[in-house]
Amino acid sequence: MENVIRAVDAESPVRKYVAVGDRLLSINRNRILDVLDYKFYAYDRDLHLVLAKPDGREYRLHVRKPEGGDLGLDFESYLMDRPRSCANNCVFCFIDQLPKGMRPTMYFKDDDARLSFLLGNYITLTNLSEREIERIIGLHVSPVNVSVHTMNPELRVRMLRNRRAGESIGTMKRLAEAGIVMNCQIVCCPGWNDGEELDYSMRELAALWPAVHSVSIVPVGLTRYRDGLAPLTAFTPEHAAETLDQVTAFGDECIRKYGSRIFFCGDELYLTAGREFPPDEFYEEYTQLENGIGMLRLLETEFGSALRLSEDPGRQRCSIATGQAAAPWMRMLADRAMALYPDLEIQIRPIVNEFFGRRITVAGLITGGDLIRQLRGQELGDRLLISQNMLRRQEMDFLDDVTLEQAETALGLPIIPVESDGFVLWDAICGRVPSPPGQRSGCGVDSAGAAGPAPGRDPEYYLYNQNRKPASEAEQRRTEGREPWQDRS
Ligand code: SF4
């Protein structure tokens, strides 16, 4: 009964006729099975709705509203259906590497095409039915975010440990032929899909340009909970540097051929290799910012602008807790600010990830427990800045269930979650506190490799209707949160 109406917006054109508890059955004779059906078929100006009362009595309504105007119905669940879990058992799956005892939602492996369209989740395409493929093509749902990992069908079967995983490369080709835009990601695992395999995948994906609009190459994340799992190794600085050179050279060729670089490495690879980030123009439209692609370059650019525009903030003392990978880079930003304004005192506090293991160095996976254990009793200044991405979206707790309030009490100072925006970071350093996390979008101070909607991005991440207005704030609030790592399908 997922199509049961939970609320009717005050501005809804049907507010006088539809009651909470009624069910929406069809729009213009199209059965409404999930949120995509609802959003697509409710777009038109003239709508014939068939609804049912809780006792089963059906009734009909004719609605005239502005084209694209919101029908204003809210359902029991956002998807109007159960979220679909994945059919894979990937060798690199982060969820398999979680410690026991975390809250059950942490272990849910979503691979739901509808969440890709609506929230930007990456999907493997391995569990799509023919009806769903036809619906994507028929409704021209675009862009789709695809976890590709490799274009070699046999290797894809082995990496995703799904005997049908190779077939979805054919699905990608079908979508490309139908003009569906795809933003892709490759979770790169040394010894599996790197080197020549990566070259092969890049060639195959580039051949699908412009349907394949961008491809991110992000390094595999390895926690300390890998007993009994496939043997995987982390990137060394040398291998990260080689991979950067390989992808950059291929991207240079793509610019000559297609006018776009298409392939971009995740910020983590630059940090691992100890390389400078490329300049702004390298990242073109920053298409995969939310996937940790160019996030730190953009943050630095914004921070530099904020410094140039700012007046002397006077005496300010704060600390910034961050992952080990980005700590040197954050220190460079802090030094630049302190050189300009000598009364500033900014300390960078790299946090070792004891919870997931020391190989996890990104800020977005730091837990409240590690933060407290490593910073308790230290002189941190007047406030502690953390990546907003350390907190579960729309909530005020860390991945280990420690709340922000508990961490503040334990450390004895205010903790300010900061999104990945150089201006916001500078404001937070200056003591201008950003709005609470639940009211902001975007990612953390240095959330290299962490995920989430890009700053300001409308989570209604689908374009089958180019004229669709951005989702209302109320609609955004309704969207279900996902954990930072759950994007790496
Ligand atoms: S990585 Fe994604 S697709 Fe693969 S098993 Fe984990 S949740 Fe499923």
Residue whose C-alpha is closest to residue 349's, from 313, 369, 378, 315: 378
Domain ranges of the chain: 5-75, 95-293, 298-450+467-479
Residue whose C-alpha is closest to residue 318's, from 409, 447, 432, 404: 432
Ligand 1 centre and the CA of 168: distance in Å? 15
* Residue stretches of the chain with pLDDT short of 70: 1-2, 393-395, 434-489
Q: Are 267 and 449 in contact (CB under 8 A)?
A: yes
d(CA 102, CA 234): 24
Helix or strand holding residue 321 (H, E): strand 316-323
Report the residue among 88, 106, 487 best suited for mutation to probe ligand 1: largest number of ligand atoms under 8 A from its CB.
88
Q: Across all residues in the chain, what is the average pLDDT? A: 86
3-class DSSP string for 16-59: CCCCCCCEEEEECCEECCCHHHHHHHCCCCEEEEEEECCCCCEE
- Closest ligand 1 atom to residue 123 Cα is 3
- Closest ligand 1 atom to residue 95 Cα is 6
Please report the DSSP string for 395-453 in residue order.
Answer: SSBBTTS-BHHHHHHHHTS-EEEEBS-HHHHHHHHTT-PPPPGGG--S-BTT-TT--SP
Q: Is 2.30.42.10 the CATH classification of the domain at 5-75?
A: yes
The CATH class that applies to domain 95-293 reads: alpha beta
Ligand 1 centre and the CA of 362: distance in Å? 20
Q: What are phi and psi of 155, to 5 degrees?
A: -65, -35
Residue whose C-alpha is closest to residue 68's, from 471, 461, 475, 457: 471
Among all chains, which residue has been given the structure tokens 């909470």?
A: 20
Q: Are 149 and 160 in contact (CB under 8 A)?
A: yes
CA torsion through residues 478, 482, 483, 485, sign = negative
Give pLDDT, residue 80. Answer: 73
Give pLDDT, residue 434. Answer: 64
Give pLDDT, residue 136. Answer: 87
Ligand 1 centre and the CA of 119: distance in Å? 17
Q: Which residues line ligand 1 (CB under 6 A)?
A: 86, 88-90, 93, 95, 109, 111, 124, 489
